[in-house]
Amino acid sequence: MDKETLFREISHALVEFEVEKVAELAEQTLLQNIPAFETITEGLVTGMKEVSRLFEEEEYFLPEVLMCSDAFNAGLEVVNPHLDKASLEKPIKMVIGVVEGDTHDIGKNLVGILSGASGFEVYDLGRDVPLDRFIEKAEEVESDMICMSTLMTTTMDGMKTVIDRLIERNIRDKYKVLIGGGPISQTFCDKIGADLYANDASSAVRKAKELMGRV
Amino acid sequence: MNEKERLLNVLKGDRVDRPPVICPGGMMSACVTEISDQVGGGHHTSSKAMVSAARKINELIGFENYGVPFCLTSEVEALGACVNLGDNLIEPRITRYNDKSLEVIMETYSPNEVTPVRMGIVLEAIRELRNSRVPVIGNISGHISTATSVVDPLEMFKLLRRDPERAARFMAFINDYLIRYALKMVKAGADVISISDPTATGEILGPRNFQKFAVPYYQNIIKALHQEGIPVILHICGNASNIVAALNEVEANAVSFDSIVNMKTAREKVKTGLMGNVSTQLLHTGEREKILSIIRNALHSEVDIVAPACGLSMATSVSNLKAMTDYVKEGYYK
């Protein structure tokens, strides 16, 4: 199989969430001495882009996206050890979590998965995350973005608290703040002074990339 | 026409003088902080406090039902997940999933045993609340939400695709457990069973998975309850537009939707009763006039039962909720 066919097969198997097949095809790329970087960008990432599209068009839903993400990771695991790190663009770092008081994390997980598959370096703090933890972690890893999610009206004000504390510490400009979740809206985003609101996981990733000047 | 007759008639599809205004309980709990403070807490763990809270919601807020419990965690806890019961400000929530394999879980928790831990307390409260004037609603979590609360939801969602037969076996086990629990509630005196399945939203599952992993199970539990002559309300969270048609197949007596669902459109498609869908965000933070105007919209869309659209924030004021019930009882019809 030539390189292009192999990449197409990888993308296809990934979209069809054939986890083992993606791993096998990734092994084949190594046997043929295809650079890992190319396999990732032209096979695996291309597949995940298609998955994002299917998700946005409501052809795929959470169960399918999760399976595809497993397939993506299976392929990545095979080729990653052979990756020439010098060929990489500096990844966008993102600290993500569900704000304190809320445990609904399905949306947050989806954003984390799709971001990871798009080359972001994701630091997932989980759910019910103490507000200061977002800032501490962002400072620690020198993150580019702070992403917060909540499904509840009671906890959404926690997002404002995080932004206010960034301002207090004079580090607001160091981070782009991305927010989302059931009760969140563009109006709320403007009101609390966040940088970006997205209403689904797929557009969150796209908008985050645009905001960071990567298209 | 008293509150019980009105709700039961509406669920049968009979004519009533006006739509009832209810808050079923379960994930749609009106045991907000003000009520919980008056009860003195303990409404998740003692049948006495549970009964007291249910009565106060009816008397002080004016919702035309008694509904218990005030969470969706008692059945999940009984199946081996860990729950933090919360306090006067925060509702109970799952803190750790059961990490055993599905087969071990199915073997361990005999489907016959549906009274452990807090489930017994709920049954006791229903026995105490039964009466001829106010309808008693027993609340259970739907099988999708239960399954994805007992074990890690992401693993469960993947299993729907990776090993559909195994997923189906687990769903059937959960549903069977819930059916037995619901029937115990009926025996204890519940007039209506309300099933809330927030995780079964079309936004998460999509229409194909919903048709395969949700519809047949709802049909089973609803059939079992109808055999006892008990009407069923089914609540689905989030944007349910892509599954509205499928919901007609389950033959619930009423379906309830989140505020994002346009009730005029839903009314055209839903063949059964329609319940909803007063925005809980507005009830929490909105002004009185705005709240009344969306209730007016719901009534104009011909909802059969007026109710909150989703789970209420515990910080919601009793006065906002009272404005809602007063308006349905008096304002609109005078």
Task: Locate the chain A residue with the closest alpha carbon to B87.
Answer: A101
Beta bridge partners of B254: B233, B273
d(CA B164, CA B213): 9
Residue of chain A nearest B310, judged by CA positions:
A152
Tell me the per-residue pLDDT of A5-59, one tens digit each, with 9 for 90 and over.
Answer: 999 999 999 999 999 999 999 999 999 999 999 999 999 999 999 999 999 899 9
Residue B12 lies in a domain: no
Inter-chain contact B160–A63, Cβ cutoff 8 Å? yes
Per residue in A76-122, pLDDT (tens digit) is 999 989 987 777 778 999 999 999 988 889 899 999 988 998 889 99
Give the gyration radius of chain A's Cα atoms.
Answer: 18
Q: Write the single-letter amino acid at A100.
A: E
Nearest CB among B93, B158, B315 relative to A66 is that of: B158
Q: Do B313 and A152 make contact, defined as CB atoms within 8 angstroms?
A: yes
Q: Are strands B93-96 and B82-84 parallel, antiparallel or unpaired?
A: antiparallel
Distance of alpha carbon B107 from alpha carbon A95, whole angstroms: 40
**How far is A126 from B152, CA to CA, in rounded Å?**
13
In the three-class reduction of DSSP (H, G, I as helix; E, B as strand; rest coil), residue A146 is classed as strand
Which residue range is the domain that position B185 belongs to? 3-7+19-329
Cβ contact, residue pair B158, A70, below 8 Å: yes
Q: Tell me: the pLDDT tens digits for B162-196?
A: 999 999 999 999 999 999 999 999 999 999 999 99
CA pair distance A138, A174, nearest whole angstrom? 9
How far is it between the farthest Cα atoms of chain A?
58
Which segments of chain A does DSSP mark as H helices, in order? 3-15, 19-31, 36-38, 45-56, 62-79, 106-117, 131-141, 157-168, 186-192, 201-211
Q: What is the pLDDT of residue B111?
A: 66
In angstroms, what separates the C-alpha of A58 from chain B's closest C-alpha? 7
pLDDT of A159 > 60? The answer is yes
CB-based contact A95:A145 (threshold 8 Å): yes
Q: In chain A, which residues have their Cβ closer than 8 Å to the Cβ of B93?
A: 103
Q: Is residue B307 part of a domain?
A: yes
Report the mean per-residue pLDDT for chain A.
93
Q: How many CA atoms lie within 13 A of B99 on its CB side?
A: 2
Structure tokens at A175: 């981070």
- Minimal C-alpha gap between A127 and chain B (Å): 10
Please state whether the peptide bond connecting residue B198 to the residue before it is cis, i.e. omega within 30 degrees of 0. no
- Residues 140-199 of chain A with CB under 8 A from chain B are 152-154, 182-183
- Answer whether B157 sits within 8 Å of A183, measured CB to CB: no
Task: From first to last of the 334 residues of chain B, give the pLDDT tens digit.
Answer: 999 999 999 999 999 999 999 999 999 999 999 999 999 999 999 999 999 999 999 999 999 999 999 999 999 999 999 999 988 888 898 989 999 999 999 999 876 676 677 999 999 999 999 999 999 999 999 999 999 999 999 999 999 999 999 999 999 999 999 999 999 999 999 999 999 999 999 989 999 999 999 999 999 999 999 999 999 999 999 888 899 989 999 999 999 999 999 999 999 999 999 999 999 999 999 899 999 999 999 999 999 999 999 999 999 999 999 999 999 998 655 4
ipTM, 2 dp: 0.87
Question: Residue B84 — φ and ψ, nearest 5°?
Answer: -95, 120
For chains A and B, count residue pairs whose Cβ atoms are closer than 8 Å. Answer: 50
User: What is the pLDDT, as a whole number, of residue A55?
Assistant: 92
Measure CB to CB from residue A58 to each of B94, B154, B242 and give the nearest one: B242
What is the three-class DSSP state of A50?
Answer: helix
Task: Identify whether B273 is part of a domain.
Answer: yes
Task: Give the pLDDT confidence score for residue B87 in this predicted structure.
Answer: 86
Tell me how far apart the alpha carbons of residues B102 and B173 are, in angstroms, rounded to a whole number: 10
CA distance B292 to B17: 20
* Structure tokens, A162: 């995080």
- Percentage of chain A beyond pLDDT 70 is 99
Residue A211 to residue B19: CA distance in whole angstroms: 49
> What pLDDT, on the 0 to 100 scale, is given for residue B334?
44
For chain B, how many structural domains are there in total? Answer: 1
SS (H, E, C) chain B: CCHHHHHHHHHHCCCCCCCCECCCECCECCCCHHHHHHHCCCCCCCHHHHHHHHHHHHHHHCCCCEEECCCCCHHHHHCCCEEECCCCCCCCEEEECCCCCHHHHHHHCCCCCCCCCHHHHHHHHHHHHCCCCCCEEEEEECHHHHHHHHCCHHHHHHHHHHCHHHHHHHHHHHHHHHHHHHHHHHHHCCCEEEEECHHHCHHHHHHHHHHHHCHHHHHHHHHHHHCCCCCEEEEECCCCHHHHHHHHCCCCCEEEECCCCCHHHHHHHCCCEEEEEECHHHHHHCCHHHHHHHHHHHHHCCCCEEEECCCCCCCCCHHHHHHHHHHHHCHHHC
What single DSSP character describes residue A95?
Answer: E
Residues from chain B that touch A104, judged by Cβ atoms under 8 A, are none
Tokens of A142: 């020198």
Asked if residue B169 is part of any domain, the answer here is: yes
Report if residue B334 sits inside a domain.
no
Computed over every residue of chain B, the mean pLDDT equals 94
Please report, for the domain that includes residue B251, its CATH number: 3.20.20.210
Set of chain B residues whose Cβ sits within 8 Å of the Cβ of A103: 93-94
d(CA B83, CA B73): 7
What digits encode the pLDDT tens for the residues A184-193? 999 999 999 9
Domains of chain A (ranges; CATH) run 3-86 (1.10.1240.10), 93-211 (3.40.50.280)
Contacts of A183 in chain B (CB under 8 A): 281
The count of C-alpha atoms lying within 13 angstroms of the C-alpha of A78, restricted to the half-sphere facing its C-beta, is 25
Q: Which two tokens stand for residue A66?
A: 């999760």
By Cβ distance, the residue of A61, A153, A183 closest to B205 is A61
